[in-house]
Amino acid sequence: MSNARLTFYHSPNTRSTGVRMLLEELAAPHDLHVLNMRAGEQTRPAYLAINPMGKVPALTHGDALITEQVAIYIYLADLFPAAGLAPALDD
């Protein structure tokens, strides 16, 4: 696993909730940024620099940016192989 810290962008009651649950189940050290979608925080320049589509979830890890829920699941399964959520990368 890379030494880079995971940063997760989330908004309650959206599809990002599943990723938040997975991060908690993995006990993955991460920084959580909660966006208020009703206040339009996803359309502000600071977040659009992360995800130009203005959607959640988004996960950054070093230079990696993953913005699709299933892709984040796969990325985390590969990042935390001891959890046994996916076959080993060399399988």
Q: Model confidence over 27-85: pLDDT tens digits?
A: 999 999 999 999 999 999 999 999 999 999 999 999 999 999 999 999 999 999 999 88
Tell me the three state secondary structure of residue 54.
coil
Give the Cα separation of 40 and 65 in Å (integer).
21
pLDDT at 25: 94
Give the contacts of 74 (CB within 8 A, at least 6 positions apart).
Answer: 86
pLDDT at 74: 95
Average pLDDT (8-31) is: 96
pLDDT at 86: 87
Q: How far is CA 54 from CA 37, 44, 77, in A?
A: 10, 8, 25
Flag whether pLDDT at 1 surpasses 60: no
What DSSP designation does 32 have? E
